[in-house]
Amino acid sequence: MSANGPRVLILPEDDWAAAVAAELAARLVERPSLRVCLPTGGTPTPVYAALANAERAGRCSLGAATVVLLDEWVGLAPGDPARCDVRLRDELLERLEAPPAFVPIGVDAADLAAAVAEHDAAAVCLDLAVVGLGMNGHIGFNEPGSSPSGATRVVTLQPMTIAAATAQYGARSMPSGGVTVGFARLLAAQEVWLLVTGERKAAVLRRALTEPENAACPASLLRRHPRLTVFADEAAAGELRGN
């Protein structure tokens, strides 16, 4: 990484989740009214558990914060276990003594276009955007080919992304697409964090951070942000040595 590039923190696997949660707790202490965009998926799950523990121990509070959901499946019924709003509530929000204001994505609305526009407005002026890294380089549901100026929108998902809904999260039906906060809102946030764990993400993380920016690897677009921090465990960072 260059001196002007992203801040890359490489952490032991056993310490990774606690370290990310501690930094997020510190942001909440600094700015109790933090407006943060949060993802779901396997990567942030242990971070949310550690953050909930910190809140219950009195080390931070989310009671004055606002959480904006990063993305949501289209075509899954309310309450489906794979729904992003269901997972974030289960893994974080309902574990808190003082939960934040929560802004889900209104995919069940009769007027989906209006609901998407409303969520796009909610994603304006984020203090912090937290995202994970997909195997094909996607960020949220910003699949390969996404524009850095893309707004929050309905998207067509690649088969490997859709398969995750059933294989990993137990969806009761197959989603027809997704809605995602676009790069226009993520890159306008005051700060962006990219969370990456596991050896299987090592190659795509190297592409995102060291190869020329390319829409074929949407995560590489995050390097445009002047305050990008990458939290990687040692396995995910395995191909970054020497760069």
The tens place of each residue's pLDDT in the chain, 243 residues long, gives 445 789 999 999 999 999 999 999 999 999 999 999 999 999 999 999 999 999 999 999 999 999 999 999 999 999 999 999 999 999 999 999 999 999 999 999 999 999 999 999 999 999 999 999 999 999 999 999 999 999 999 999 888 888 877 778 888 998 999 999 999 999 999 999 999 999 999 999 999 999 999 999 999 999 999 999 999 999 999 999 766
pTM of the model: 0.96
> Does some domain include residue 242?
no
Whether 23 is a known active-site residue: answer: no
SS3 of the chain: the string is CCCCCCEEEEECHHHHHHHHHHHHHHHHHHCCCCEEEECCCCCCHHHHHHHHHHHHCCCCCCCCCEEEECEEEECCCCCCCCCHHHHHHHHCHHHCCCCCEEECCCCCCCCHHHHHHHHHHHCCCCCEEEEECCCCCCECCECCCCCCCCCCEEECCCHHHHHHHHHCCCCCCCCCEEEECCHHHHHHCCCEEEEECCHHHHHHHHHHHHCCCCCCCHHHHHHHCCCEEEEEECCCCCCCCCC
In the prediction, which pLDDT does 163 show? Answer: 83
Quick check: is 71 catalytic? yes
Question: Would residue 74 count as lying in a domain?
Answer: yes
| Domain of residue 189, residue span | 7-233
Whether residue 225 lies in the annotated active site: no
Residue 243 within a domain: no
Residue 99 forms part of a structural domain: yes
Which one of 108, 136, 213, 234 is the catalytic residue?
Answer: 136
Tokens encoding 148: 């850095």
Please report whether residue 1 resides in a domain.
Answer: no
Count structural domains, the chain.
Answer: 1
Query: Is 239 among the domain residues?
Result: no
Pick the catalytic residue from 55, 85, 143, 233.
143
Active site residue 143: yes
Within a domain: 29: yes
Tell me which of 55, 72, 80, 138 is the catalytic residue. 138
Is residue 125 situated within a structural domain? Answer: yes
First to last CA, the chain: 6
* CATH (domain of 126): 3.40.50.1360
The confidence score (pLDDT) of residue 160 equals 82
